[in-house]
Amino acid sequence: MKRDVRILLLGEAQVGKTSLILSLVSEEFPEEVPPRAEEITIPADVTPEKVPTHIVDSSEAEQTVEELQDEIHKANVVCVVYDVSKEVTIEKIRTKWIPLVNGGTEKGPRVPIILVGNKSDLRPGSSMEAVLPIMSQFPEIETCVECSAKNLRNISELFYYAQKAVLHPTAPLYDPETKQKSCFGHPLAPQALDDVKMVVRKHVAGGVRDDRLTLDGFLFLNTLFIQRGRHETTWTILRRFGYGDTLALSTDYLSPPLHVPPGCSTELNHFGYQFVQRVFEKHDQDHDGTLSPEELEGLFSVFPAAPWGPQLLQEVPTEAGRLPLHGYLCKWTLVTYLDVRRCLEHLGYLGYPTLCKQDSQAHAITVTREKRLDQEKGQTQRNVLLCKVVGARGVGKSAFLQAFLGRGLAHQDPRQLHRTPAVYAINTVRTNGQEKYLILHEMDADSLLSTATDAICDVACLMFDGSDLQSFALCTRVYKRHYMDGQTPCLFVSSKADLPEGVSLPGLTPAEFCRRHRLPAPTVFSCASPGEPNTAIFTQLATMAAFPWVPGPWGAASHLLLAPADTGGCWGCCCCHPQLFTLQGPVEEPMKPWYPAVWS
């Protein structure tokens, strides 16, 4: 493994090379952009691979061709940047920049290339349809990342993939000679390999294409091995790819060891997301950025049965009944969080260990630290957060979940209405400048009160019908039983805000109850409006889950939490801003600071 990584950005003028670098460093879009950025070095301790990374800008206006060639020679990876809104910059990738990078390399390793489609905020949809032929033509292209320096979209991911292209190159994974060595311990001699191809060409039309075996050629070759008594050759291949004596994938292969201590959760890491995204791109045959039912069936053809079930389109964001990449990644995230063993099986069926040259698909999984440690530190490092949506039947929990996916009552698919509602919904939410996955889990309040159902989560959403306050009493019972003495943030939600407010009942009103227990004031919500549902409540839930250290009135604390500029850019840590812990309402006791025992 290399001891450091040098990344060079190339591309036409005005495509945003310098802005990408400055946006990465400052985490904001620069108002003034110099002709060329100075070389920057990212220390090893802040990079995923713990390797120092040097990022170098270029400018045709300020550098000669010889100087550019010198920078290319020193670079470990080149990012060729294009403007997704200008097709001429895409064509220049093929005609100008790749020849400049690797045009003189006839043999030996080529400099890996990352294609970077900047200014995605200026174009709806994707530029992948125009880029994919270029990626197919030049094997040194590792991947393509669409991003926006202005919106800070995929900036860190871009430089992560550039670093990974050097430390963990993917090109060898598709080299046929490497495949032979992977199975048998050594490659075939060149003459023997030519003889094999000649036999296949003679007996199978289309058995060899571009000097490589096709699937038909591969199957013929193994049939020939078996007919000639060379069963060990075929078995060597099958066992190398995880198959047992019954021609089924073995349990050891599908369920590799993965220790998940109590209080920890499981998430896909960068390697896992990159792999499943490549699977998506492979099966998106029309390159429209979504998977049709037929394309999804093709993806699942290597599974014994379709693994995701009929409720898939109710659990994740969709586009016109098709599964976009965002919804697809959401589903993988949900499966990994809820049932990591099933996720490992799915990755095994897709061939993760072999294609990624790893001992097992556990390499694609990150086990988070214990929730207790998150509570002690007052902040979570988790990228996936769980919110339990609890309430009586009929208060609108299912509609709330669908609203999270952008579907108000007026926008829900009539074809899905007759099906049993999904109890999970997952989407991404941006909080504190970070994108988090938020899972909503619908639960009936009666089940939490009558059985030993698990109530543990990162934030609880206690929902009642604002037009029928009988349902509020059930929420208060759930709160007192499961959450009043714990450290889980809670938010009461008054649903059906489009209906007249219900008649007050004896006892405390919802607002008075929340004030007495030092909870956020009840948030009103309706999904009956003709437009898209308001997403502010989901941002609030995600922020409460990610920053659970203030159990007091969210309405008071959020003014500071959501305005980092007011606190010098800090999101209100208790050490820097103890004043956050003294906020109080008009009839409250002062909020007490939530200091873990280890701090006192």
DSSP 274-295: HHHHHHHHHH-TT-SSEE-HHH
Q: What single letter denotes the amino acid at residue 340?
A: V
Q: Which residues contact 345 (CB under 8 A, 6 or more apart)?
A: 254, 255
Quote the tokens at residue 310: 């009929």
The token pair at 128 is 């992948």
Q: Within 13 Å and on the Cβ side, how many CA atoms surround 490?
A: 26
Query: What is the amino acid identity at position 191?
Result: Q
Quote the pLDDT of residue 183.
61
Instruction: Name residue 144's beta-bridge partners.
Output: 115
Taking the C-alpha atoms of residue 119 and residue 11, their distance in angstroms, rounded to an integer, is 13
Beta carbons of 323 and 151 less than 8 angstroms apart: no
Write out the two tokens for 457.
């989560």
What is residue 411's predicted lDDT score, i.e. its pLDDT?
Answer: 58
DSSP 29: -
Three-state SS string over 425-465 comes to EEEEEEECCEEEEEEEEEEEHHHHHHCCCCCCCCEEEEEEE
Phi, psi angles (nearest 5°) of residue 551: -85, 5
Which amino acid, one-letter code, is at 66? Answer: E
Question: In sequence order, what are the residues at sequence separation of 6 or more whose Cβ sits closer than 8 angstroms to the Cβ of residue 268?
Answer: 276, 332, 333, 336, 343, 364, 365, 366
Rg from Cα positions in the chain: 28
DSSP 8-state assignment for residue 533: P
CA 447 centroid distance within chain: 32
DSSP codes joined into one string, 156-225: HHHHHHHHHHHHS-SGGGG-HHHHHHHHHSSPPPHHHHHHHHHHHHHHSTTSEETTEE-HHHHHHHHHHH
**Cα dihedral 491, 496, 502, 504 in deg (nearest 10):** 0
Helix 340-349 with 325-338: angle, nearest 10 deg:
130
Q: Which long-range contacts (CB under 8 A, 24 or more apart) does 563-568 make?
A: 564/432
Listed in sequence order, the residues at least 6 apart from 225 whose beta carbon sits closer than 8 Å to its beta carbon are: 231, 233, 234
Kindly report, residue by residue over 310-368, the tens digit of the pLDDT: 889 999 999 988 999 999 999 999 999 999 999 999 999 999 988 888 889 999 999 99
Q: What is the pLDDT of residue 148?
A: 94
Question: Nearest-5° angle of CA 383, CA 521, CA 382?
Answer: 10
Query: Is the entire prediction scored with pTM above 0.95?
Result: no
* Secondary structure, 3-state, 220-253: HHHHHHHHCCCHHHHHHHHHHCCECCCCCECHHH
Residue 471's nearest CA partner among 439, 496, 489, 490 is 496
What's the rounded Cα separation, in Å, for the pair 186 and 177? 9
d(CA 186, CA 191): 14
Residue carrying the six token digits 């990150």: 366
d(CA 392, CA 149): 45
Q: Do β-strands 434-444 and 424-431 pair in parallel, antiparallel, or remain unpaired? A: antiparallel
> In DSSP terms, which residues pair with 7 in a beta bridge?
55, 77
The pairing of strands 424-431 and 141-146 is unpaired
Dig out the tokens for 61 from the structure.
């206006």
DSSP string over 335-368: HHHH-HHHHHHHHHHTTHHHHTT-S-GGGGEEEP
Low-confidence ranges of the chain (pLDDT < 70): 1-2, 49, 104-108, 168-188, 229, 231, 245, 410-419, 452-453, 530-531, 549-600
Euclidean distance between CA atoms 560 and 150, whole angstroms: 25
Q: How many helices (H) and strands (E) does the chain have?
A: 24, 18
Q: In what helix (H) or strand (E) does residue 527 lie, and over which residues does it extend?
A: none
Q: Give the three-class secondary structure for 424.
A: strand
pLDDT of residue 237: 81
